[in-house]
Structure 1
Amino acid sequence: MKTTGLQLRLQLRPQPPRLIGNFPLLPLRTKTRGPAYVLPFPSPPLPAHESPEIESESYDILDEVLRLFRANTFFRNFEIKGPADRLLVYGIWFVSDCLQKIKPNASARDAAKEVNNLALDLNFAIPGDPGFPLNQMYEPPRDRQDAEQLKLYMAQVRQELASRLLARVYEEDESKPSKWWLSFTKRKFMNKSL
């Protein structure tokens, strides 16, 4: 797998991202409260269903997750080349879970209820928990304080990803979801789910 634009920019940054275990806390372009460093929004503002250009300082890992989701869904294996890949993998699993919540005839409002309930549910596993998939690839937080920080960051990622995904799934018609996005509901990335 070739190096993505975001991975290249992360490699060129003078300071590596903060890690909890080996899960990165990367900057996000978000209005959702949480511990992530907030990236600037593009100027002029983009429609909700669009991502900034890869070279833009506003482009973040969640844009990368949504951009690569459909291609990566077919992978049974995924080579982790750095910390950003662990967040990419987690994001792809979460997007898959969100898509499974969207019914083929659901309006944007109904889907938002289901997906936002999933995103806002704080009862999810983090690396090191028994229910977390692929614990062998993820190191657990070293203490309770790190675990709480990681959980807050992952909750922020989940809420922002849910919002961006819904904007794309209902980009053309708010009365029904995109069949192109829903065609991936039966696929399990690496045969795992959250």
Structure 2
Amino acid sequence: MHGRRFSWLLGGIGLVACSVSGILRGSIPGAPAVNNTLTLLGDVLWASAILILSIGLSREGSVVARKPLGVTASAVVAVWPLTTTLVSLGISVQNPGQATPWQFWVYLSMLVSLMFGLIAAVQVARIRVVAAPWNLAPLWALGIQTVVWVVPQLINVAAPATFAEMGTVIPALGTLGFLATTLGLGVVAIVLSNRSQAESILVFESSPPE
């Protein structure tokens, strides 16, 4: 149980730290160098946390039991935001000639994140290393993130004028989706790590003396 406890505790702390980095990034306007640094830091924290949770410090600590499909999908989910950030830093969206490729890359990134995120979340739910109902937590978080992205897009297509008036709502929705997959899942992982520790102590205390 110790391998599971430390894996989930470290992964949870990494996700919470990632959420803090994202909140700080949004609270410092007009400082691109600082924002870029915080973005990269958040991406590294996210990647580290997801890899720890998916691979585990030991096999019992892996939320997907180290199944190849689950680990592969989780690895893509882990490193894709960092990849996206590095590409964005290398592309100047101010150049009109790059506007179309950049827009294509944005939608491709969202599609890849959604597809592999769904695979990873389904694997966590099916394998059930994480106790029910918390094995569904990644699916809940992914659902929230998807809804807060899809709804504004639908509004933009159906009622562009209404979308233009949602200047403060759109960032708030984005923050909600971000916190669901970072702070939300981080807190769940930390709580479950403590529960895992309590269960291991209970088993030890109830074992008959030799």
Is the shorter-chain TM-score for this pair beyond 0.5, marking a shared fold? no
Structure of higher CA gyration radius? 2
Q: Greater helix share, 1 or 2?
A: 2
TM-score normalised by length of structure 2: 0.27
